[in-house]
Structure formats: structure tokens, C-alpha cells
Structure 1
Amino acid sequence: MRALTYHGKQDIRCENVPDPTIEDGRDAIIKVSSCAICGSDLHLYDGFVPGMQTGDIMGHEFMGEVMEVGKDNKKLKVGDRVVVPFTICCGECWQCKRGNWSVCERSNRKKELGDTAFGHSTAGLFGYSHLTGGYAGGQAEYVRVPYADVSPIVIPDGMTDEQVLFLGDIFTTGWMAAVHCDIEPTDWVGIWGAGPVGQFCIRSAFLLGAEKVFVVDNVPERLAMAKAAGAITINFDEESVLERIGELTGGKGPEKCIDAVGLEAHATRSLDSVYDRVKQAVMLESDRPHVLREILYVCRPAGIVSIPGVYGGLADKIPLGAMMNKGLTIRTGQTHVNRYSQDLLRRIQEGQIDPSFVITHTVSMEEGPGMYKTFRDKEDGCIKVVIKP
């Protein structure tokens, strides 16, 4: 089969690799009909997340048709159409039973690496380094899905791939980020980053009752998409973020803030961003947390900071004094997809939202490697890439 494979920093290739096979009775084999390049894939592409090996299959946003099921899988049948969440969940451990799907205690088959990196391993993830299990990803013609009797979302007839694909990650991620904010109708909700996850944070905030949302970015196409959803936009290349937020909120700051950027903040005009670039270059810091610093500084006292943006390692100069003395609540985590997926599927069916709005490029598998650079560099108006194997 064809798949997109990792061969080092900024080197993704479309290659022929062995087809997956059933390895456990709870497995399923999925023929991929649609997959996508996620912003967090770029952290692998740019070399900021360790644990990738040559030949690893990329991707964790995918869906398709069930072609084969293991003998112990009672949930799926051949021919089912499913979206596969990016988190791999056993459904039986202490965390899974409490709905904390992204920190499943059993699915990371290389748990010792995760324990070393994070203190305790998180769940296994598709296509996201050997720190999270070294599982083959979804940017392929076929994928083996472990514990496939737990998390795959069976899709009703009559819904397109484009409507439901993002239930596996970015729609659910944006929704959880907004849910973590405990949004009230009088809140100012500030969102840093208007990429795909940020776009779903905006729409999720409005669906949850927010009346006032602003978003910070510098890419015109992203800001236009955010404005179309009703958000107030702030271009950090053209105006002072701090001054503009002060004007909007009467100097009080937003009650709820969402960091939808993560470890590769691209601010260029601030002293701390220069500091991060230098320390990163000499391997004394792995993450660039300019956005997180800014949020902790501007968030209103007693506010909530939600962090769906991926952080992978170590970051310096985090203003813990501001965070503690202002009494901020910090909520983070990889997404507990199955906690929210059925509710969001219902909202799509009822017409509350059509997630396909975010797609700007649909390409073949062979075009996939080039689209990594296009997506990373925001070229050709690229906001979200869907791949059709």
C-alpha cells in the first residue's frame, strides 16, 4: 500500500509499505477514504517532537471503511464507515472508565518511553512518535486500529467524509478547549491562533453561548475565516495585541483564554520570541511559549486558561507569579475524543455546524509530501489539507 512516511526533519515521502494485518482479536483494518494533515503533524515535520524513526507512517486524522475485524471485536462489522479518534483507548483501565480517554493506561505499547518523558505515559496515538507507542498513522491506504471495539465512531448513511472527518481530532479538540473555559454569556473569550483548531475553538465558543470572541493571528486568510464566524480579529503584525485587548475589554482582560498555538509560536517582534529562537537553536529549550506567556499576562484575574495547543518538552520564562497571584485556572490535555464525539455528531446532523468549512485543499496521496510545506508556510491560502488515498 501507499503511505506518507517520515525520513527526518522536513522529509516526508510517499512510499510503498507493507499492508497492515490483524494482530489482536479486538483489531480492525480500515481502508482509508479521507485523511488530513494536522497542525500537530508539523511539530514532527519540523523536528520538535522526539521519538520518530525513519519509515514511520504519519498522520492521526483519518476515516474509512472497515475491511476486516478481529474475532473478539463485537462493535464493528465489515462495511461499517467509521471515523477513528487519534487517541487509542482500551476502554477498561482506570482512566478510560472515567472518560479520560487521552490518558489511557494500557494503549501505549512503549510506556517506558512515555514515563521517562512525562512522568506518566499518556495514551497511544496514531502516527505520533514512539513516545506514544510507535503506531502506524492514518496517512495511508489502510490502517490497523487496535482496540477497535472501543473508540471508532460509526457514521450514519448520508453524511460526507468532509462533514465528519474532523470528529477524530480538530473539531473535538476545539470543542473541548471551549468546554474547559466554562463559558458564560457575558465572557470575553480570547483565542490565540486561527489555524484549524483555533477556527473550531471560535465556532465552539459561540455554540456554547459566548457573545464576544476575539482571535489573534497574522495570516489574512485565517483572520478572514475567523471574522466570517463572528470573531473580532487582531493581526499581531499590524497592531499591539496588548493595547487592542485592553481597548476591547476596558482594560480588564478576557475572562477566558485559549492557546490554540502551542510550542511553535511565530511571533517575531517581541524580545521573548527572539530569546526562544536563540535557546532553541542551541538546544537549551524545546518549546517556544510566547503565546502562553502573553495569555498568562493578559488574562483577567480568576480567569480560565485552556491549552489545546501541543507542547512537547521544556519552556523557559513562564510567568508563574502572574498565574498564581491572579488565581488563574489552567486546563490542558490531549483531547478526550469519545467524551464529546456523539454530541458533536448530533450537532452536525442537526445542521448546527458543517465542519467542512475549514478545508481549503484536497489532494492525492502523491501530493501529500509537498502539502506539508505548503501548510507549514501558509502558502496558497492553505488552512486545512485533506488527502484522498
Structure 2
Amino acid sequence: MRAVTWHGRRDVRVETVPDPIIKEPTDAVVRITTTGLCGSDLHLYEVLTPFMTPGDILGHEPMGQVEETGPEVRNLSPGDRVVVPFQIACGHCWMCREGLPTQCETTQVVEHGMGAELFGYTELYGAVPGAQAEYLRVPQAQYGPIKVPEGPPDDRFLYLSDVLPTAWQAVEYAAVPPDGTVAVLGLGPIGGMACRIAALRGAGRVIGVDLVPERLRRARADGVEVFDLRDAGSREDLVEAVRATTGGRGPDAVIDAVGTEAHGSPVGRAAQRATELLPRDWAAKLTSKAGVDRLAALRLAIALVRRGGTVSISGVYGGMADPLPLLTMFDKQIQVRMGQANVRRWADDILPLLTDEDPLGVDAFATHRMPLDEAARAYEMFQRKEDGAIKVLMRP
């Protein structure tokens, strides 16, 4: 089959690799009809390279048709149309029953001290072959895949794999009070969808912050009050501008949808790039013990949120030695919630919204649709934010 493989920093290729097969009785093989390119994939493209191996298959946003199932997968049949969550979870352990499939005790990557395995996402999460491919082996298929109806185009349901539950959890964790104000930092796929969900769920005001013109225009068209980072003389100026519109207090909640590659963090960027000069094993050890993030977005969230408010983090961070302003966080009594989205926990809440009325605008959410064979160009375009690329879908 053809698949998108990793070969180094900013080096992805579409190659022919062996077809996946059933290995365990709880496996399924899915023929991919559409797969997404996620901002988290760019972390592998740029930052988390010490934990990658040349030839790793990328991608974690798949949907398609079931081709084959193992004998213990009784809920699926060949031909079923499914969306596959990005994490691999069993559905029956204590963590899964508590609504935390990202912490699944069956698939936790214990040797690295990490949570549940993820598709296409470094050795820290099991080095499981990913979904930017013609076919995908799905472990724990008795629980993970979500059956969806035939008929509507893939765009209607694909985002159940990651974008929708991640944005939904970000809003849930933000705990925006009725008619309250939430600020969303980063208006890419997750941040943009979080704005829509927050408004749908009753936020009185939604404020968006970014510096990419296309993202700002799209959010403004959604009714979001936008602030352009390029117009702010400093972080302090932006904080004061937002506070001035919120009675001097700041937003009730702030969602950080940016993560480790935030603009405006030159020291963090330099530290991340320094690992490229080391042998892979050394770089991995150094990153796992003393890795740093670009913290501009998180620091902005902490500065923006009102006293007693909530910071919800959906952007991916990976640092082990990040200096955080704990005195400010403690003094302001900030509540912080974060983590990978628990897809199956939120799927039943989201599915009723994927109707013909399309209140979340999923049908037109993608900005680009490309053949899988053009994956290298898709990654480059998305990473450079060229041609208005906000959400890219690929079809094998």
C-alpha cells in the first residue's frame, strides 16, 4: 500500500509499504477513504524528531470502510463505515470506564511512562503505524471505531477522530459560565472549532487571538471577536486590550489551542532545534529529561485569564523542564485542565450535531483536499501557513 512516512525533520515521503494484517483477535483492518493532517503532525515534522524512526507511518485522523475483523470484534462487519479515534483504548479497563480512554490501562506505554497508544505518534506512544495510508490496522477494534451512516460525505464525520472531541473537551474543561467570556488562543483547526462549540454551548462572548490573516478572517466570519497579534505592541498591550473589553478583569476562561510551537518563543525554538545536532539516542534522552516548549501562548493564557478563572490546554506540550509562573498561577487562583481528548467520552454528545443542519459547519471546514501522493506538499504548505491552509484532508 501507499503511506506517508517520516524520514527526518521536514522530510515526509509517500512510499510503498507492506499492507497491514490482522495480528490480534481484537484487530480490524480499515480501508482509508479520507485522512486528516493535524497540527500535532507538525510537531513530528518539526520538534519531536528525536522520538521518531525513519519509515514511521504518520497520521491519526482516519475514516473509511472495514475490510476485515478479528474473531473477537463482534460489533463491526466488513463494509461498515467507521471513524477511528486517534487513541487506542480497550473500553473495559478502569480508566476507560471512567471516561478517560487516553489513559487506557490496557494500552498505556508503560516503558515510557505515557498514556494510551496513539496512531502515528512517536515511540513515546507506542510507534503504532498511522492513518495517512491506504489501509490501517486498528487494535482494540471492539471499542474504538465509531460506526457512522452511509450517505453524507466523509467531511461530515471525519472530525470525530480528533478535531471535534479535542475542541469539545477544550470547551468542557474551560468551564465557561453561562453567558461568560472565553478567549481562544490559536485559531487553527482546534481553536477555530472550539470557538464554534463555545458559542453553540452558550458562551456570551468568544474572543479569538491569532496572527494568520486567513484564520482571523474565518473566525470573524463565525462571529468571534478577534485580536491580531501583529497589531499588539507586546504581550502586555494585548492583555490590557482584552481586559479593557471585559470590565478590567479578563476572560472567565482561556483555551490554549497552540501548544509547543508558539510564535514568539525564540529561546524555546533554539533549544528545540539544538537537539538536531545530537545523535538520535542522545537527543531523545535529553528531550525526555530537559526538553523545553515555546511557552508564549501558555504564558499569555495565564496573563489573560481573570482571577479565579480557568485555563484549558488542548495544544500539545512535551517539555520536561519548562519554567512556569507558578507564583502568578497560585496568586490568581487559576484552575488548569489539560490533556489529550477522550474521543469516545464525547462522541455521543457530538454525533447529534452532525445533522443536515450542520450547526458546527463541518461540511465546509476543510480548506484543502489533496491526494495522498501530494502529502509532502501538504505538510510543507500547512507548516508554512501558505495558500490559506487551515485544515487539509487527504484521500488515498
TM-score (norm 1): 0.94
Q: What is aligned with 1:118?
A: none
Residue number in structure 2 paired with 1:380: 387
- Which deviations, in whole Å up to 9, do the C-alpha atoms of 1:261-283 show, x marking residues without a partner? 0000012xxxxx23333444445
Residues 74-105 of structure 1: CA distance to partner in whole angstroms, max 9, x if unpaired? 11001000000001001122101111011111
User: 2: CA distance between counterparts of 1:36 and 1:30?
Assistant: 15
Which residues in structure 2 correspond to 1:78-117 (within 5 Å)? 78-108=78-108, 110-113=109-112, 115=113
Q: Give the equivalent residue in structure 1 for 2:296.
A: 290
Q: 2:335 & 2:247 partners in 1: Cα distance?
A: 22
Contact 2:47 2:272 in 1 (8 A): no
Q: 1:281 to 1:84 in 2, by over 3 A?
A: closer
Displacement of 1:50 in angstroms is 3.8
Give 1:185 deviation, angstroms: 2.7
1:230 aligns with 2:229: no
Partner of 1:270: none
| Structure 2 partner of 1:366 | 373
Question: Once the 2 structures are TM-superposed, how far is the Cα of residue 387 of structure 1 from its aligned partner?
Answer: 0.3
| Aligned: 1:258 with 2:260 | no
Give the match for residue 217 of structure 1.
210
Identity of aligned residues (%): 43
Q: Which residue of 2 aligns with 1:38?
A: 38
Superposition map of 1:305-344 within 5 A = 305-344=311-350
* CA drift at 1:175: 0.8
For 2:273 and 2:53, the matched residues in 1 are separated by 22
Counterpart AA for 2:211: N
Listed as ranges, the matches of 1:1-389 within 5 Å are 1-48=1-48, 50-108=50-108, 110-113=109-112, 115=113, 121-239=114-232, 240-267=237-264, 273-282=265-274, 285-349=291-355, 351=357, 352-389=359-396
1:111/1:133 contact within 8 Å kept: no
Distance 1:98 1:285 in 2: 31
Q: Which amino acid aligns with 2:146?
A: I
Following TM superposition, by how much is the alpha carbon of 1:257 offset from its aligned partner in structure 2, in angstroms? 0.5
Separation in structure 2 between the aligned mates of residue 246 and residue 286 of structure 1, nearest angstrom? 29
C-alpha distance in 1, partners of 2:51/2:268?
Answer: 22
Show CA shifts across 1:9-56 (max 9, x none). 111000000000000111110000000110000000003354211101
* Structure 2 counterpart of 1:112, one-letter code: E
What secondary structure sits across from 2:373 in the alignment?
coil
Q: CA deviation at 1:138?
A: 0.3
Paired amino acid for 2:136:
V
Structure 1 Cα separation of the partners of residues 15 and 178 of structure 2: 50
- TM-score where L is the length of structure 2: 0.92
Number of residue pairs aligned between Structure 1 and Structure 2: 377
Any idea what the Cα deviations from partners look like across 1:281-321, whole Å, max 9, x if unmatched? 44564310111111112210110110000001235331111
Moved over 6 A (4+): none
2:86 and 2:49 map into 1 onto residues whose CA distance is 17
Gaps of 5+ in 2: 276-289
How far the C-alpha of 1:207 sits from its partner, in A, is 1.2
Q: Could you say if the C-alpha distance between residues 206 and 315 of structure 1 is closer, same or farther in structure 2, counting changes exceeding 3 Å? A: farther
Which one-letter code corresponds to 2:254 in the other structure? C
Partner letter of residue 111 of structure 2?
E
